[in-house]
């Protein structure tokens, strides 16, 4: 069951929609967890990009917030792998990254990203991106 409420800006907010946050920085994950929890989302944080598919299979998120610059496996690789998978390709992926050039955004689109948020982001920027898909 998916519940809806209206926030102080008159926008509908999804209650209990699950958001997977993948970022190697614990501080970034904590920041996004707090923002999303306060808005009624059910965020799940992950610091290890090599465990994304395993975590998706367990958690079944409605949307994924994905950092790009991570060790072992960058966000572009993760996004490309997810969008190439029959099991995961329909889950929206929003890249959340400090890489903010036009070529970075273009490359993100080429990997299948559904959205792009540049760090540092505002609360409104992050929530607007998540609301588009969750």
CATH number at residue 41: 3.40.50.2300
Burial of 2 (0-12, 13-18, 19+ CB in 10 A): exposed
- 79-88: long-range contacts at Cβ-Cβ below 8 A with a sequence spacing of 24 or more? 79/108, 79/111, 79/112, 79/113, 80/111, 80/112, 81/52, 81/53, 82/52, 82/53, 82/56, 82/112, 83/111, 83/112, 84/112, 85/53, 87/53, 87/57, 88/53, 88/56
pLDDT exceeds 60 at position 3: no
Tell me the mean pLDDT in the region 49-60.
97
Q: Please provide the average confidence, as pLDDT, over all residues in the chain.
A: 91
* Average pLDDT of the residues in 29-34: 97
* Predicted local confidence at residue 47, as pLDDT: 97
Residues 75-81, mean pLDDT to the nearest whole number:
98
Residue ranges making up the domain that contains 35: 3-133
Residue 5 has pLDDT above 70, yes or no: no
Count how many domains the chain has. 1
Is the model's pTM score more than 0.85?
A: yes
Higher pLDDT, 87 or 16: 87
């Amino acid at each position: 069951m998916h519940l809806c409420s209206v926030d102080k800006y008159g926008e509908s907010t999804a209650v209990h929609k699950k958001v997977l946050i993948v970022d190697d920085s614990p501080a970034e994950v904590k920041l996004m967890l707090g923002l999303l929890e306060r808005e009624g989302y059910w965020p799940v944080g992950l610091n290890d990009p090599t465990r994304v598919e395993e975590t998706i299979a367990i958690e079944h998120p409605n949307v994924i917030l994905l950092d790009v610059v991570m060790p072992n496996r960058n966000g572009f690789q993760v996004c490309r792998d997810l969008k190439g998978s029959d099991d995961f390709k329909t889950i929206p992926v929003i890249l959340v990254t400090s890489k903010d050039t036009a070529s970075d955004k273009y490359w993100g689109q080429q990997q299948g990203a559904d959205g792009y948020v540049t760090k540092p982001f505002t609360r409104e920027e992050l929530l607007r991106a998540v609301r588009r898909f969750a």
